[in-house]
Amino acid sequence: MPKDPERLRATLLAYVEALRCTGRQSVRLRSGWRRGLSSLFLPIQGAVSRPLSVVQAPLPKENQPSLESIATPPSVPPEPTDRPERARRLEALRQTTAGCRRCPHLAAFRSQVVFGVGNPHARLLFTGEAPGAEEDRQGEPFVGPAGKLLTRMIQAMGLQREDVYIANILKCRPDLPPGTPGNRKPAPEEMDTCLPYLREQISIIRPEIIVALGATALEGLTGLRKGISALRGTFLDFQGTPLLPTFHPSYLLHKPDLRLKRQVWEDLLLVMERLNLPISERQRGFFLTKS
Ligand code: SF4
């Protein structure tokens, strides 16, 4: 952590700017931190042109970015000027999908279309394959057990769910015979039919990185059937946007293997590096086996 107050101020300002560019509207600070930061910034009040609001609340330990990790300020992308426009276009697209009946069997089975959720200006977009039962009920992707794990993964990156965008290739839950429990993998032709909606979401949001969660999502986006083990950790391309495949959170839930968790975490570290997000030594060591 820089000891020189000027350097510390500059570092913190760069960090806050980087957070703001991910769409973050507020940061949480412990009361002790608030007092320290107040004294640090009192002489230069007004130096932050568009400050984030500060919420006094304890931040879970695993979510606290270390000050060491921000010693090198991340590069800050330019401020977007079309935030309301992106939100308006996404809402118009959402309304279009809400009445979509391109797949009559899915339209008849669904409770509702599960469009996607998150920041219209997200730098990072996660996509899975299709909504499950819980997503179909709530109308939001990744809200079941796998979704909760995805949220924890996002938080481990130092972000919040609201900072990113989360979607699926298929917007309707794949149908099942009456009384059949669980969920079904979407068929390639079903994903092909619905993919234009995700393409449009991506062209509106213009994320810097897309993470494909699971082999089915990867196949739906690229046609590749090599499996995640062969392709994870490698940036591919989707419509000119870097695409990183990794395991689906539900796979991690079914196979609670520390090495698997580490592999997924290493993929997310690659994403963080590409996005110039601060990474602490503690974050770098997540899921490493103790020798
Ligand atoms: S899956 Fe997609 S294309 Fe098919 S009915 Fe639902 S929204 Fe329309």
Q: Answer yes or no: are the C-beta atoms of 75 and 88 closer than 8 Å.
A: no
Alpha helices, H only, the chain:
5-21, 31-41, 83-98, 104-109, 133-138, 145-156, 188-205, 215-222, 228-231, 249-254, 258-274, 281-284
Residue in 97, 111, 173 to alter for ligand 1 test, most ligand atoms within 8 A of Cβ = 97
How many whole angstroms from 189 Cα to the centroid of ligand 1?
11
β-pair type (165-168, 209-213): unpaired
256: tokens are 């609670």
pLDDT computed for residue 124 by the predictor: 98
Tell which atom from ligand 1 comes closest to the C-alpha of 170.
1
At residue 162's C-alpha, the angle toward residues 36 and 222, to 5°, is 130
- The number of angstroms, rounded, from the C-alpha of 39 to the middle of its chain's C-alpha atoms is 34
Indicate whether residue 106 lines ligand 1 (CB < 6 A).
yes
Indicate whether residue 97 lines ligand 1 (CB < 6 A).
yes
Bridge partners (DSSP) of residue 246 are 213
Residue whose Cα lies nearest atom 4 of ligand 1: it is 103
How many whole angstroms from 197 Cα to the centroid of ligand 1?
9
Indicate whether residue 193 lines ligand 1 (CB < 6 A).
yes
Indicate whether residue 100 lines ligand 1 (CB < 6 A).
yes
Indicate whether residue 194 lines ligand 1 (CB < 6 A).
yes
Residue in 194, 197, 200 to alter for ligand 1 test, most ligand atoms within 8 A of Cβ = 194
pLDDT computed for residue 36 by the predictor: 55
How many whole angstroms from 101 Cα to the centroid of ligand 1?
6
pLDDT computed for residue 20 by the predictor: 52
pLDDT per residue of the chain (291 residues) written in tens, 0 to 9 = 445 555 555 455 545 554 554 455 555 554 455 555 555 544 333 333 333 333 333 333 444 333 333 333 444 455 566 778 999 999 999 999 999 999 999 999 999 999 999 999 999 999 999 999 999 999 999 999 999 999 999 999 999 999 999 999 999 999 999 989 899 999 999 999 999 999 999 999 999 999 999 999 999 999 999 999 999 999 999 999 999 999 999 999 999 899 999 999 999 999 999 999 999 999 999 999 765
How many whole angstroms from 76 Cα to the centroid of ligand 1?
37
Residue whose Cα lies nearest atom 3 of ligand 1: it is 194
CB-based burial label for 267 (10 Å; 0-12, 13-18, 19+): buried
Looking at CATH, the fold of the domain delimited by 84-284 is given as Uracil-DNA Glycosylase, subunit E (3.40.470)
Indicate whether residue 113 lines ligand 1 (CB < 6 A).
yes
Q: Answer yes or no: are the C-beta atoms of 209 and 192 closer than 8 Å.
A: no
How many whole angstroms from 220 Cα to the centroid of ligand 1?
14
How many whole angstroms from 191 Cα to the centroid of ligand 1?
9
Q: Domain residues of the chain, as ranges?
A: 5-70, 84-284
**Residue 194 CB neighbours (<10 A):** 24
Q: Residue with structure tokens 């092909």? A: 192
How many whole angstroms from 194 Cα to the centroid of ligand 1?
5
Choose among 218, 211, 216: nearest CA to 186.
216
Residue whose Cα lies nearest atom 6 of ligand 1: it is 172
